[in-house]
Amino acid sequence: MIKILVIEDEESVRENILDLLEAENYDTISAANGKMGLHLAFSEAPDLILCDLMMPEVDGYGVLTALREQILTATIPFIFLTARSARSDFRQGMDLGADDYLTKPFTRAELLNAIVSRLSKQATLKQYINPKNLTHETKAVSPEAQKLEMYLRHTLERRDFRQFQIYYQPIVHINSGKIIAAESLLRWQHPELGMVSPTQVIPIAESTGLIVPIGEWILRSVCKQTKLWHDAGFSFLHIAVNLSVCELIQPEFSQKIIKFLLNNNLVADRIGLELTESMIMQNVDSALQNIQKVNSLGVQIAIDDFGTGYSSLVYLKQLPVNTLKIDRYFIQNVASDPQKAAITTALIQMAHNMNLKVIAEGVETEQELEFLRTYNCDAMQGFLFSRPLPAPEFEKMLIEDKRLVGA
């Protein structure tokens, strides 16, 4: 049974709420002040908290602040009850992490709708954010990784996507030198941890399933930003999004793509999905089905880090792929390493024979660029041209029409 904690100093109001909730078969506990409410929240771990804003000693703001500072209570859905309706009061509560805000006097329907809405959203998140879904291997991680996972869970359960940022690394046509696309990359700026490296965040998110809500936010944000750039005059721009196997095998994945494209009135072939070889091979049938669905809409498909996985050419031929991205391992020192040179030229030739475009990743030197130009690689990305950039800095490069030197 769902347990709801009611923190309200007016006895008549408190009793009315308790009667209403008990009539709806909720398990209830109550407190007449903030101090007692905090004690019950920490000891009883309720599923949801209804809390009066104006109380002596510890008011609603104080209760919420204390709850959000503790691991066990940080993600409990919290609804303020108040007679104050000023926008500043509302904003202060939401900034502290409140989930909803009911102004007294409220109706029975308003209260129940708020409760059902919050509990429903919490249940949906827990489908993806559930420690029981972790394998034994996933749990055997370092204390640092466990700490990161905990913070990531709290961020997502509170839906605080403001902590996330999307950076864009330009992809440049080698012959013309013009920016033709960009790869979108996640960055996490945590208020306590600071900027967390993607190499730390992504593996944890993928192994726990947390990548699903993150990935949905990225897709939605990238589609919105891409449309803004197209409307600003950069209609040629193609933005690629990295996918995880968790996202790709979701039954409703293709419907999400369609929704985001339609919501932004965005041409499908201006959005690309990047998949790794090993990711596809983890669940070939489901991956193939969803890839074919989104590709039929016009969404471009790229195989990322090509050459480092274990896919066979048979599967590569079956996939509706538009682009191969050669892993930076093969690009580094390619001009002076005969083995890397042989592999890279073979990959370029094979891709072109299959009518695929080729993008070289991690290009850092003029020698590497010249080698790729000599062997007709289509495009490149890497620190030689630009590191990944926040959206405003990337947009500045577009406006200035920055180009690859020597093209």
- Give the separation between CA 117 and CA 202, rounded to whole angstroms: 30
- Asked if pLDDT for residue 48 goes beyond 60, the answer is yes
Q: How confident is residue 92, by pLDDT bands cut at 50, 70 and 90?
A: confident
Q: Nearest Cα to 305, choosing from 269, 280, 286?
A: 280
Residue range 122-156, pLDDT digits in tens: 665 555 445 444 443 444 456 777 788 888 988 88
For residues 200-211, give the mean pLDDT: 84
Which of these ranges, 94-98, 232-236, 351-355, 390-394, has the smallest mean pLDDT? 94-98
Q: Nearest Cα to 182, choosing from 7, 382, 406?
A: 382
Q: What are the phi and psi torsion angles at 166 (to 5°)?
A: -115, 120
pLDDT score at 121? 67
Residues 6+ away with beta carbon under 8 Å from 248: 275, 279, 283, 286, 287, 290, 291
> Residues 212, 218, 220, 226: what is their CA dihedral angle, to the nearest 10 degrees?
-150
pLDDT score at 227? 96
pLDDT score at 279? 66
Query: Per 3-state DSSP, what percentage of the chain is helix, strand, and coil (rounded to 5)?
Result: 50, 20, 30
pLDDT score at 50? 94
pLDDT score at 137? 41
Angle ∠(239,294,270) on CA atoms, nearest 5:
25
- Asked if pLDDT for residue 221 goes beyond 70, the answer is yes
- Give the separation between CA 226 and CA 109, rounded to whole angstroms: 40
Instruction: Confirm whether 3-128 and 138-400 share one CATH topology.
Output: no
- Asked if pLDDT for residue 314 goes beyond 70, the answer is no
Domain 138-400 in CATH: superfamily? EAL domain (3.20.20.450)
For residues 282-305, give the mean pLDDT: 81
pLDDT score at 132? 47
Q: Is the domain defined by 3-128 classed in CATH 3.90.1170.50?
A: no
- Give the separation between CA 19 and CA 25, rounded to whole angstroms: 10
Q: How confident is residue 334, by pLDDT bands cut at 50, 70 and 90?
A: very high
Where are the chain's structural domains? 3-128, 138-400
pLDDT score at 140? 43
Mean pLDDT of the chain: 85
Which of these ranges, 84-98, 321-335, 337-351, has the smallest mean pLDDT? 84-98
What is the percent of the chain where pLDDT is above 90?
47
Three-class SS state of 263: helix
pLDDT score at 305? 73
Which of these ranges, 43-57, 101-115, 157-171, has the smallest mean pLDDT? 101-115
- Give the separation between CA 49 and CA 148, rounded to whole angstroms: 26
- Asked if pLDDT for residue 365 goes beyond 90, the answer is yes
- Rounded to the nearest 10 degrees, the angle between the axes of helix 34-44 and helix 60-68 is 30
